[in-house]
Amino acid sequence: GAVVSQHPSRVICKSGTSVKIECRSLDFQATTMFWYRQFPKKSLMLMATSNEGSKATYEQGVEKDKFLINHASLTLSTLTVTSAHPEDSSFYICSANPGGGNYGYTFGSGTRLTVV
């Protein structure tokens, strides 16, 4: 089946540093990648939608200068958390639709970010 590979699975960084999260579609071309954040025991929150070759669309309240998204190819999208702070500690997950239309969306395995 369609796979979205997400790395790293877990990262600990110091406050003020930047962290890059990568998502690759392994056996399909992902023209669109969805980036989510999830706090413990909370629901998924869509942060932004990235489209290959164009600027990402951010959801209301999400700082685009803090969460930089790059979707330079049909198989790779990256999320960079810039100048991370402890409140950015969360579970970040990417997702793409391998089939288009009404097919289900595939998720990466997620990245647990801890900012100390």
- Smallest Cα–Cα separation from 81: which of 64, 104, 58, 99? 64
Dist CA 36 CA 40 (whole Å): 13
Does residue 78 interact with another protein by CB under 8 A? no
Give the footprint of another protein on residues 90-109 (CB under 8 A): 91, 93, 95, 97, 100-109
C-beta separation of 34 from 26 below 8 A: no
With H, G, I as helix, E, B as strand and everything else as coil, classify residue 6: strand
Q: Does 5 bind another protein (CB under 8 A)?
A: no
**CB nearer to another protein: pick between 46 and 76:** 46
Q: What does the binding site for another protein look like in residue numbers (CB under 8 A)?
A: 6, 31-32, 34, 43-44, 46, 49, 51, 91, 93, 95, 97, 100-110, 112
